[in-house]
Structure 1
Amino acid sequence: MTDTDEIIGGADTHADTIHVAVISAGGQPVADREFPTTETGYHSAIEFLTRHGVPRVVGVEGTSSYGAGFTRALASKGIPVLEVHRPDRAARRCRGKTDTLDAYAAARAALCGHGVSEPKDERIGVVRALLSARRSAVKARTASINQIKALLVSAPEVVRSRFRQHRAKQLIDALIETRSNTHGDPMAAGIVTAARTLAERVVFLDDQVEFLTDELDQLTAVLCPTLRSAYGVGPDTAAQLLVTAGENPQRLRGEGSFAALCGAAPVPASSGKTVRHRLSRGGDRAANNALHRIALCRMARHAPTRAYAARQSQAGRSKPEILRLLKRAIAREIYRLLTRAVTPPDYADLRRTRQERNITLTAAARHLGVWPGTLSRLERGQSRDDELANTYRAWLAAA
């Protein structure tokens, strides 16, 4: 093989090592070798590939995890990279598993184009990190509140009677202000100390959740402002949909495949004379949850969605069936926002006009019959509602 021959690379990635394999354009094994996951190791791996020919493409397992560093190194050299999905388990059981076999399998997958996709945009790694940190903080906060309630269930009556009527927020505030030395009973004092410590943890986690939400708010607004302008799409749901889609549109083959990826593609569930569909149980369940939250938000507050749900209900459809239809329609809308250059609405004039007329946000929201937060997000371009914007603009002009 000469230096001008095209070759296909494959990489099986791990925390400390990567195993790189080379095959010819016809699929014949050429060579393989292991390298450390360091800058020097990546440089040596690329030299190993180019020594055997011109890399047409390199298939890498885990481009967003163990293979992220190697993917960046390949991209800096202008070498095309494809993300290789997990091998079929049945096929793996038949041929066995080693780093060498997996590296050659990745190269063959990149050659035939089966079980591969474009690597996710590197900026999505930042969104994923922030989203993961926020969700773990929310989970820890919920666990701490549950621990407090469990402690109070078995606490002495003097403690239980003091905090029995408090709801979660009031309970946390009351515990923060409580001192254990006010109780003569050592058992009661110990319970109060433990509960107050957990309450302080809840306050700390509340601050973390708020900070991480603000970070996601700013980042998602920069990465995909059109997505954030959609009704019911907040920082958390936008972040999850961006992580699922991977930001780069070329990963998505069509709105049907995106719906299937989100577990929102209809699945036939007919029998006899009954013709119906149900929600898919496959796909990314976190993305499906994001679509579900958007659908619930729209069913509660979005007038067109409420009217649509009412029509479907009158037609005899159940709430789960209506949610299935809504999630499929929302998936179609999200796909369009992710893959097309849609210009977000310009609502900048609304706030400027309101301030020129010395009208408070609360007064405007009361007149229009919406929450001040809804109007604030509309003014900042963080939500899209053309009907409300036109009504608001007309009212400001007449004010």
Structure 2
Amino acid sequence: MNSLSEIVEVVIGVDTHVETHTAAVVDARTGAVLDELTVHTTPQGYQDLVDLADAHSALRVWAIEGTGGHGAGLVRHLGRAEEVVVELDRPERTKRRHGAKSDLLDAVRAAREALARPKLGTPRAGGDRQALSVLLAARRSAVDASTVAQRQLFSLVIAAPEHLRTKLRGRKLPEMVRVAARLRIQSNWDRESAATATTLRTLARRTQALTIEAADLEKQILAIVRSWRPDLLDQPGIGPIVAATVLCAWSHPGRIHTEAGFAMLAGVAPIPANSGQVTTRYRLNRHGDRQLNRALHTIVLVRQRYHEPTKAYTDRRTTQGKTPREIRRCLKRYIA
């Protein structure tokens, strides 16, 4: 595709929010705004947007921001109607900083940005991918909350009354959690000791419950990965969480145009920073899907420890003068 304007007659840009969506119908050849409408995020509101598009042209495409978030309901409605949807990230900040800001203007910007892009992305798929996405989010929340509870438990033990601290001192954190979860309040304790022991027991039991919850969610994630792409689990350094993260970013065939595009999505593609006669300088890519970047980083760390070819590569690059950080960046790009 050379240009979107060669294929469609209008582009409907949509600025999505929790309660309302604002759409702007833009002429694909001139960029002129032909119509606009703000609707509520209900099935009737979504149908009103389709009716708005029907009033202009059947040769159309939708350019929507937040297809996996605020715009998810609209994208599902358009999918059932077999409409063509283009996924857009937020407009560039420099373009917004020097101009006005409104829902209509953002909708117009979305449409015109779709017209200007040489390559267009499609929304992430539903089904198994969406199931993995919500399970990963729930597991991440459980793990983070468990980590916070353990840190609080450890800090409180340090400042606890001596008779409580003696029971927990010198233990590894998992054992400390088990002991704290079984603490019993003595009737002859003072108020500080009773309150501290109660809090330690509460935090320990919260940690145990969240750990069980995270393990159950991981089992559900593993079941979906095994039914969808079990070959990923055969790769060294890839477990169910890493595989699910990769699948959520990749979504479906055709969404990522090239392996270089996947590397850019993961934030592991080196960015050229050449100037004049300097042609070998690159910058670190801090953009892209950071969860996917983290998954690739996990693969690298596991392979550097247990995978013999990766260990040999690391040794060879080390003798060539590469730093550990530079070696990891090379490996992440290769794995992508």
TM over 0.5: yes
Cα distance change, pair 267–84 in 1 and its aligned pair in 2 (3 A): closer
Task: Name the % identity.
Answer: 37
* Unpaired runs of at least 5, structure 2: 1-7
Cα distance change, pair 152–249 in 1 and its aligned pair in 2 (3 A): same
**2:212 corresponds to:** 207
**1:72 corresponds to:** 76
Instruction: Give a deviation string over 1:230-269, Cα, whole Å, max 9, x none.
Output: 1111121122222323x12322232222212212223568
- Structure 1 residue 96: Cα displacement: 1.0
Q: Which amino acid in 1 is paired with 2:313?
A: Y
**1:29 corresponds to:** 33
Q: Are 1:131 and 2:136 an aligned pair?
A: yes
**2:269 corresponds to:** 265
**2:65 corresponds to:** 61
Instruction: Give a deviation string over 1:65-90, Cα, whole Å, max 9, x none.
Output: 11111111111111101012211222
Q: Is the 8 A contact 1:49 1:55 kept in 2?
A: no
Residues in 1 aligned to 2:306 and 2:97: alpha-carbon distance in whole angstroms: 51
**1:161 corresponds to:** 166
Q: 2:22 aligns with which of 19, 22, 39?
A: 19
**2:185 corresponds to:** 180
- Structure 1 residue 293: Cα displacement: 0.8
Q: 1:146 aligns with which of 151, 171, 174?
A: 151
Residues in 1 aligned to 2:14 and 2:283: alpha-carbon distance in whole angstroms: 39
Residues in 1 aligned to 2:23 and 2:316: alpha-carbon distance in whole angstroms: 58
Q: 2:236 aligns with which of 231, 238, 243?
A: 231
**Which deviates more from structure 2 when the two are superposed, residues 300-309 or residues 181-190?**
181-190
Q: 2:224 aligns with which of 219, 225, 230?
A: 219
Structure number, greater radius of gyration: 1
Residues in 1 aligned to 2:59 and 2:100: alpha-carbon distance in whole angstroms: 27
- Structure 1 residue 276: Cα displacement: 7.6
Q: 1:81 aligns with which of 82, 85, 95?
A: 85
Cα distance change, pair 215–288 in 1 and its aligned pair in 2 (3 A): same
Residues in 2 aligned to 1:266 and 1:113: alpha-carbon distance in whole angstroms: 21
Query: Secondary structure at the residue paired with 1:251?
Result: coil
Query: Secondary structure at the residue paired with 1:22?
Result: strand
Cα distance change, pair 268–183 in 1 and its aligned pair in 2 (3 A): farther
TM-score of the superposed pair, with normalisation by structure 1: 0.75
Query: Secondary structure at the residue paired with 2:98?
Result: helix
Query: Secondary structure at the residue paired with 1:264?
Result: coil
The equivalences for 1:359-374 within 5 A come to: none
Q: Are 1:320 and 2:318 an aligned pair?
A: no
Q: Is the 8 A contact 1:278 1:321 kept in 2?
A: no
Residues in 1 aligned to 2:271 and 2:58: alpha-carbon distance in whole angstroms: 45
**2:312 corresponds to:** 307
Residues in 2 aligned to 1:317 and 1:178: alpha-carbon distance in whole angstroms: 52
Q: Which amino acid in 2 is paired with 1:181?
A: Q
Residues in 2 aligned to 1:43 and 1:310: alpha-carbon distance in whole angstroms: 60
Q: Are 1:92 and 2:80 an aligned pair?
A: no
Q: Are 1:47 and 2:51 an aligned pair?
A: yes
Q: Which amino acid in 2 is paired with 1:325?
A: C
- Structure 1 residue 176: Cα displacement: 1.8
Cα distance change, pair 177–76 in 1 and its aligned pair in 2 (3 A): same
Q: Is the 8 A contact 1:85 1:115 kept in 2?
A: no
**1:7 corresponds to:** 10
Cα distance change, pair 32–266 in 1 and its aligned pair in 2 (3 A): closer
**1:195 corresponds to:** 200
Residues in 2 aligned to 1:143 and 1:183: alpha-carbon distance in whole angstroms: 31
Q: Which amino acid in 2 is paired with 1:23?
A: V
Q: Is the 8 A contact 1:59 1:84 kept in 2?
A: yes
Residues in 1 aligned to 2:164 and 2:135: alpha-carbon distance in whole angstroms: 38
Residues in 1 aligned to 2:10 and 2:285: alpha-carbon distance in whole angstroms: 40
**1:290 corresponds to:** 295
